Amino acid sequence: MPPLRIAVCTSQVPFDFGGAEMLAGALIRELEKRGHETALIQLPLRCFPKEEILKSYLMWRLTNLDHTYDMRPIHRVIALKFPAYAISHPHKTTWLIHQLRQAYDLYDTEYSFFDNTPEDHELRGMISHMDRVTINESERIYSISANVAHRLRKYNRVHSQVLYPPPPLDGRFYHDHYGDYVLCVSRLHHVKRVDPLIHALRHTRTPVRCIIAGRGPDMERLQKLAARNKVADRVDFLGFVPDEEVIDLYARALAVYYAPVDEDYGFATIEGMKSRKPILTLDDSGGVLEFVKQGVTGLIAAAGAPELLAECMDTLYENRDMAKRLGSAGQEIVAPITWDSTIERLLDA
């Protein structure tokens, strides 16, 4: 394939950085490695007041990326996250990370900011309509997981192919040994659900520890939760951790915990498996469950039952052979998820 000029489009919540931003950066790097010319196009996303959502849509719709400023053609646009796929381009690919979940599956839960009012019903209807129209304009429609594809089909009647993204640090993960800690790598936000790990620690009978790598608005609350549960001495909150240290933490962990609410995908799952670690999760964690099979690649506990999660932690602590067996099976499952195959499908004409 001759080199292409490609714009990668995604929205950005100012001062917020997570898996979506990591994926956008990794995609840019991997495209450039293969000789393509790229640009990362980001527009700010504001949801408060809620009318700002429509302005974000309009900004993307009015953005013209057919040509560069000196009239060189932009051959492809790859849109990643709500509402970047509203951009108009003759060769648009949507690789959907997620929509505005508060308007869909998270509506009428504690995680949504939409109210049960006529005004909010109308706004949610407009979002659904615009999503359906603008995503359907794409030449190719991919979703980052079967869970995301299912939501898109359920709420918008739009069909997509599943294309799992490799971790941004793919190729650098390795296995050292099965240590004495469960690792959680996550943005610290209530929807990421780190709480059950801390609650579970109180019920363990072994001296298993937890290391939590990441930062976010829930940091202080989680630290206080550990203190109230009298497990603060067994939980290390590391905050931001550089890439090389994260890779080493994975390599020496006993297991990896990742259990957000109905997660879209979750790099931590794939990163843990590529480090040959078993994954601990909960039975309502969405995309994580596409990879974690009970007793095969990890252990799944019931949500709301910290004592069961504690039992999973103790089981692996007391049986390193089991940890090795589950970790090896997981590594085999995610081995085909590579950047070579991903880029080939994204640019498939």
Domain positions in the chain: 5-163, 181-334
CA atoms of 26 and 42, how far apart (whole Å): 15
CATH architecture of 5-163: 3-Layer(aba) Sandwich (3.40)
Angstrom distance (rounded) from CA 249 to CA 242: 11
**Where residue 349 falls among pLDDT bands split at 50, 70, 90?**
low
CA distance 123 to 303: 32
**Is-same-fold flag (5-163; 181-334)?**
yes
- Per the document, the length of the chain is 349
User: Comparing C-alpha atoms, which of 64, 23, 337 is closest to residue 77?
Assistant: 64
pLDDT tens, position by position, 171-214: 999 999 999 999 999 999 999 999 999 999 999 999 999 999 99
pLDDT of residue 200: 99
Categorise residue 151: left if φ over 0, alpha if ψ from -120 to 50, beta otherwise. Answer: alpha
Q: At which residue do the structure tokens 């390599």 appear?
A: 251
Residues 264 and 287 sit within 8 Å (Cβ to Cβ): yes
Stretch 92-101: mean pLDDT: 98
181-334: CATH topology: Rossmann fold (3.40.50)
Sign (positive or negative) of CA dihedral 281, 282, 285, 287: positive
Give tens-digit pLDDT for 22-77.
999 999 999 999 999 999 999 999 999 999 999 999 999 999 999 999 999 999 99
Question: Which residues does 303 contact at the CB level (< 8 Å), separation at least 6?
Answer: 196, 259, 282, 283, 284
134 has pLDDT over 60: yes
Order of strands across the sheet that contains 279-282: 235-239, 209-213, 181-185, 255-257, 279-282, 298-301
Kindly report, residue by residue over 234-290, the tens digit of the pLDDT. Answer: 999 999 999 999 999 999 999 999 999 999 999 999 999 999 999 999 999 999 999
